[in-house]
Chain A
C-alpha cells in the first residue's frame, strides 16, 4: 500500500502548469460561489434520475441501452457495481485492508433474499408486508425489510470473519480473504442438504424471488406513483431504486470519511503501531471497516438477486471480487468520486462497452471478417488497462488529494532547511 508502486510518469512542466492553474481558478470560483456546493450534486442527481427520458432514445441511447430486456440493462448493472465498489472502497481505500473475497458479501446478500423473500422454504408460510399478488408458500418478508436484513447478515458475517483474520497483515489478509471468497459460493453450492435441510437450493440456486414493491396502500395513497410491485417489463423503478440506494451509499461514505472513524481508518492504513499508540483500537476500527463494506455488498446483492430473479452459486465467482477491486484502483482508491467513475467505466466496458467496441471494429474495418469477439478478451483487456494505469497514473483516474500526495514521493519530503527558524 505504500508509495513505491512504479515509476512516475515524467512531468512535463508546461501543460501541467496550465491544467493546475485552471484547476486552481476553478477551485477559487467554487469557494467564492457557495451555491455550487449543492447545485452541482443536485444537477447530477437530476440528470441521473431523468435518464430514462433523455437517454433511452436519441444520440446517447447506444451507450447503455440495447433494448434486449432485463438481463441486459447495463445501467442497472453499472449502478450495482458502483455500490459494490463504494463498499469495497471503505475496506481497501480507507482502511487499507486488501480484500480479495468481497464477492462473498455480494453472494450472502443475494442469498439472504433467497431465504427471506422466496419459496425456498416452501413448507413454511411466513408473511410480513410482502407485495406478491397471491399468498405464496415460503418465507416472504417485505422486500425493504429483506434488504436491511441482508445488510445486517453481511455485517454480522463480516465481523465473524474479520475477528480472526484481521489480525493478519497485508499479504496474509489478502490470501485469507481470497480463500473466504472461494469458500462462500462453495458452501451455497453444496448447501442443498445440510443435515437434511435444503438451505441454498444447491447448484440449481434459488429462483422466483420476491420483487420490490410498495403494496396497494402506498400505491393508492401516492396516486399511483409508487408501484404496487416491480416487474420485468417496466425497468425504470428498478433503476430509480438502485439510484436511491447508491445515493445513500455515497452519503454514508462521505459522512464516515470525515468522522472520527474515518480518520482512524486512514491512520491505521498509514501506520498501525503509531495509530494504536495514539489510542486507536486496531481491531475495532478494522472490524468497522469490514462490516460497513459488507453491508453495502449485502444491499447490492439483495437488489441484484431480485432484479435478475435468480441466484446461482456460479454467479458469484472470484472474477467479481477482482473486477470490483479493479474499479476501485482504476478510479482512485479512497476517493468516492474516483471510485464511482472507475466503477462506471469498468462496468460499462464489462457489460456493454466491449461488445459495442467489437461491433464498431467489426463493422468499420474491412476484411476483419466481422467475427472478432472483443468481449472474449475481456480479462486480457482489463489486465492491460490495469498495467497501463499503474505505469502512467498509479493514483487512479480521480485520486484524493491525500492519495496524490502519497504518490508524489520526493516532491515535498526533502526540505533541506527549516525556513521558519
Chain B
C-alpha cells in the first residue's frame, strides 16, 4: 500500500446500491489516500460507473456511506459535492455542446465565483473584476489542458481528443481536490493516450490533485496508478499495487474466465 500514513481524501464504507433486484454495487469498502492516483478497473457492467455516480452524488447509496475530506457526503446533491472539491468527467462526453470552450469552463466555476443577480444587473466594479479574473483563469486552464486558442470554438465543433481535454479543463475549473476521470482514454490512439497519461501525472505534480481513474487501457492503469481496485459484479475482488493486481488469480479469472468454463 502506498503511503500508509497519509490522510485519506475519500473513504467509502460498505457502499451498496440496488436497482430493484439488481445489486449494482455490493458492500464495497474503498479509500483514496491524498495525493495518490487510484484506478478502478473491472469488466463491463462491473458497477464502476455506478460507484462513480454514488461518490459524486448522482445516486444515493442504498446503504453505507461516503466520507470526503472528513465529512459525510452521501445524500448530498451533485452540485454540493462539487462545491466541496470533487470534480468529474463523463464516460460518454457530456460537454455543453452549444457553448464555447471558454463558457464550458466558466460554468464549472459556478461554485467558486459569487455572481449575484443584482450585482450582475448593475455590473458593479467588483463583479466586473471577478468576471475578468474568471475568464483569465479559464483561458489559463484551457491552455494548460492543451487547448490554447480554442476558447471561442463551440464544444461540439472540437475534435474528439479536444473534447476529452475540454472535459478535463472544465472539471479542473471547479478547483477540485479530487478528480474523477471516467474512462478518459476511451477512443484515443496510443500517442494520445501516452500524452494523456503524462498530463494526469502533471496534474498531480503541479496542481496537487488526487485522481480516481476508471480505465480499460491497462497500459494507462499500470503506468500511473499507485493503487488499483478491481470490481466484478459489483463486488470488490482485489485491491493493491498494479504489479500485484496483474498477477491476481481472481482478476485474471474475472477478465478471462476460468479454465473450467473456457
- A interface with B by C-beta (< 8 Å): 251-252, 255-256, 259-264, 266-267, 270-271, 273-282, 288, 292, 402-403, 405-406, 412-413, 415, 417-421
Contact = CB atoms under 8 A, between A and B. Distances in A.
Contacts of A413: 156-157
B99 A270 contact: yes
Contacts of B159: 415, 417-420
Complex A-B, nearest 10 residue pairs according to Cβ-Cβ distance, in ascending order: A260-B115, A259-B120, A412-B157, A279-B111, A279-B82, A274-B94, A270-B96, A278-B108, A276-B78, A418-B159
B125 to A, nearest CB: 15
Contact of A255 (B99, B120, B191): B120
A278 B98 contact: no
B48 interface: no
B88 interface: yes
Contacts of B117: 256, 259, 261, 288, 292
Contact of B121 (A255, A266, A270): A255
Interface string B89-104: 0100011111100010
Contacts of B174: 278-279
B94 A261 contact: no
A277 B82 contact: yes
B206 to A, nearest CB: 22
Contacts of A252: 121
B129 interface: no
B233 interface: no
Given A264-B110, A279-B108, A273 B58 contact: yes
Contacts of B95: 271, 274
14 contacts: A259-B120, A261-B117, A262-B120, A266-B98, A270-B98, A277-B78, A278-B110, A278-B171, A278-B174, A280-B79, A281-B77, A282-B79, A415-B158, A418-B162
A267 B88 contact: no
Contacts of B158: 415
Nearest to B105: A278
Contacts of A279: 79, 82-83, 108-112, 174
A252 B121 CA distance: 6
Contacts of A405: 98, 154, 156-157
A78 B231 CA distance: 63
B53 to A, nearest CB: 9
Nearest to A283: B77
B224 interface: no
A282 B88 CA distance: 17
B107 interface: yes
Given A270-B98, A402-B99, A277 B56 contact: yes
A415 B107 contact: no
Interface in B64-100: 77-80, 82-83, 87-88, 90, 94-99
Given A266-B99, A267-B107, A421 B192 contact: yes
A261 B88 CA distance: 22
A259 B115 contact: yes
Contacts of B144: none
A281 B110 CA distance: 9
B11 to A, nearest CB: 21
Contacts of A273: 58, 78, 94
Given A270-B98, A276-B79, A418 B161 contact: yes
A264 B115 CA distance: 11
Nearest to B112: A279
Contacts of A266: 96, 98-99, 103
B23 interface: no
Contacts of B191: 421
Contact of A278 (B82, B113, B154): B82
Contacts of A256: 117, 120-121
Nearest to B117: A261
A51 B82 CA distance: 52
Contacts of B111: 279
Nearest to A411: B157
Contacts of A270: 96-99
B107 A264 contact: yes
Contact of B96 (A260, A262, A267): A267
Interface string B186-211: 00000110000000000000000000
B107 A261 contact: no
Given A267-B107, A274-B94, 20 more contacts: A255-B120, A260-B110, A263-B99, A263-B103, A267-B96, A274-B90, A274-B95, A274-B96, A276-B77, A276-B79, A278-B87, A279-B82, A279-B110, A279-B112, A280-B79, A281-B77, A402-B99, A406-B97, A412-B156, A415-B159
Contact of B110 (A271, A280, A418): A280
Contacts of A263: 99, 103, 106-107, 110
B255 interface: no
B123 interface: yes
Contact of B170 (A264, A278, A417): A278
A276 B77 CA distance: 8
Contacts of B120: 255-256, 259-262
A282 to B, nearest CB: 7
A261 B115 contact: yes
A417 B87 CA distance: 29
A275 B160 CA distance: 20
B159 to A, nearest CB: 4
Contacts of A402: 98-99, 154
B160 A280 contact: no
Contacts of B108: 278-279
| Residue with the highest number of chain A CB atoms closer than 10 Å, among B80, B115, B122, B123 | B115
B168 to A, nearest CB: 13
Contact of B58 (A261, A277, A412): A277
A276 B154 CA distance: 20
